[in-house]
Structure 1
């Protein structure tokens, strides 16, 4: 397999790493941390309002008719991934400490990516419309299902504490702004489209705020002294193995169900990936008041690995596609 000439070492991920380092050197404390928390909440609400304004309700409803495709993607995202995550507790404490395992499990419970899933499906010449609906539906379902899975599975690990009221917090902070964006779409969709480049900075700026806030709290709590470089390398191996397993599961399911080539590509790219953009804001709500820097580390590592591997696959499949 010929790799793409430029592997996608995402500049956004590099920015996230830079912000994490900054938070380690200059963490927010006291009143500054309180103000940062409120600013972050407002930014996250704005982020999901923009998500709602961008998604075409008509296209989403039309695409729902291909229910078998979307059901398989949801099964990969919210059934196969959590099973692998739950089974990974066998690695504690021999390979992973409890904190990093909690992050690995949380990674398995968040929605699929939207933008990169669609882009890779397009490069591979797959069913782009199907990818749009599957990825968007995964994020909508995740607003409800991710908190439920976190409460059901992460309480049992003893790693973190989650209040069931977090489901209501998710609805208030994420779903309500999203619905507001949908309702305002007839009036603001054109403006959002015309200013997409500038609003992309708002999207990414919101995520960077989340990262800085999370890693500041972790630095103040002193949790980074509890993890060694060897444990980080072990985590890197675990996230890589998780991606390989999910690529195999999604590809195998799509072939077993006799999907066409275009739909198989959708299942692989939407069913094997996890969303940094959705997972980080959800973590700040679900684990409010707790240091979550280590909890987010597996998701950030997985995000970069999935970009590199899926870009190589998309490039290969796109070149092999029939004209």
Structure 2
């Protein structure tokens, strides 16, 4: 099987390299208003997200409630609980930052486009994939800050849950609601130009990643991370992905799901959204210099989940054709 490098993953690597070479352009004192561009871009991303959501499809998708419950439970409960098991092993501030990055990853919603595409390739339950991926993004607006708040509040940081929800309401939820209200008028336009809207989303995400890593490199945040740490982080990401993947498959079998529903549960229940993660990190951590570390496990997980699920989807599709 020929391995293809996802263009977006390659773009992320290039952006991180540029941040390392030219941190002065994206830092707090840089000449470019990246913070303002990012804030406006975030609102537009979620406006288009709402514009593409079909209320009719959302209503019809509620029927397969066991599948939806399993996917959302794995996304917002199983993932974080697995990471919580390692909380007693934290002994230093560096350990805590890396663990928080994993908790942030674990509490994020699922992806939308890639989940649906991979389910389609594997010939799973596509309508349920669309519903779960869409509803996951909305639930994440509420659930992700709650998980982080349990530990950031206890650390006496500037994490004000009321302020966080205010920003999420203004920059994320309000644009989504506005998009939903305008779906009947502009929904077809959004679907027709979805390719360009996706390109816009990725461009904004790359700008936010660039700014985050510029700040982290300027503050020398990564000086505490060595090759051993990176190996441990990478190994933990692989273990986390496969553990949730097999747990989701086990529960699907216990619930008597069809092959199509099992595929949807495993593909949607193991994904984490880089788009939501980058946006939420900007709001939840409010430009902290440690944002680079916070985003590091998420970016590695994003790259691996694309590779792993692509391989699995291709294998499942081939098996379907042979049978």
Classify the TM-score, shorter chain: over 0.9
Following the alignment from structure 2 to structure 1, what is the Cα–Cα distance between the partners of residues 37 and 132? 31
State which of 11, 27, 40 in structure 2 corresponds to 1:29.
27
Following the alignment from structure 1 to structure 2, what is the Cα–Cα distance between the partners of residues 305 and 289? 26
Aligned residue in 2 for 1:49: 47
1:71-129 per-residue CA deviation (whole Å, 9 max, x = no partner) reads 110100111001011113355459x8322221111100100111111111111111011
1:25-71 per-residue CA deviation (whole Å, 9 max, x = no partner) reads 21223453782111110011111111111111111111012111111
| Corresponding residue SS for 1:145 | helix
Aligned residue in 2 for 1:82: 80
Q: CA deviation at 1:187?
A: 2.2
Range 136-145 or range 97-106, more displaced: 97-106
Aligned residue in 1 for 2:302: 303
Following the alignment from structure 1 to structure 2, what is the Cα–Cα distance between the partners of residues 244 and 226? 28
Aligned residue in 1 for 2:112: 114
Q: How do 1:1-323 and structure 2 match up within 5 A? A: 5-27=1-23, 28-32=26-30, 35-92=33-90, 97-156=95-154, 158=155, 162-164=159-161, 165-291=163-289, 292-321=291-320
Closer, same or farther in 2 for the Cα pair 1:106/1:160, shift >3 Å? farther
The alignment yields a C-alpha RMSD, in angstroms, of 1.9
Q: Is the contact made by 2:20 and 2:217 (CA closer than 8 Å) also made in structure 1? A: yes
> Where does structure 2 lack aligned partners over 5 or more consecutive residues?
none
Range 262-271 or range 177-186, more displaced: 177-186
Q: CA deviation at 1:276?
A: 0.6
Following the alignment from structure 1 to structure 2, what is the Cα–Cα distance between the partners of residues 91 and 83? 15
> Where does structure 1 lack aligned partners over 5 or more consecutive residues?
none
Closer, same or farther in 2 for the Cα pair 1:112/1:30, shift >3 Å? closer
| Corresponding residue SS for 1:187 | helix
Range 237-246 or range 166-175, more displaced: 166-175
| Corresponding residue SS for 1:6 | coil
| Corresponding residue SS for 1:32 | coil
Following the alignment from structure 1 to structure 2, what is the Cα–Cα distance between the partners of residues 93 and 236? 20
Q: CA deviation at 1:161?
A: 5.2
Normalised by the length of structure 1, the TM-score is 0.92
Closer, same or farther in 2 for the Cα pair 1:91/1:34, shift >3 Å? farther
Normalised by the length of structure 2, the TM-score is 0.92
Q: Is the contact made by 1:8 and 1:307 (CA closer than 8 Å) also made in structure 2? A: no
Following the alignment from structure 1 to structure 2, what is the Cα–Cα distance between the partners of residues 61 and 116? 22
Q: Is the contact made by 1:280 and 1:296 (CA closer than 8 Å) also made in structure 2? A: yes
1:220-248 per-residue CA deviation (whole Å, 9 max, x = no partner) reads 22212121122111100010000011011
Closer, same or farther in 2 for the Cα pair 1:6/1:56, shift >3 Å? farther
Closer, same or farther in 2 for the Cα pair 1:57/1:132, shift >3 Å? same
Following the alignment from structure 1 to structure 2, what is the Cα–Cα distance between the partners of residues 109 and 313? 24
Following the alignment from structure 2 to structure 1, what is the Cα–Cα distance between the partners of residues 105 and 169? 20
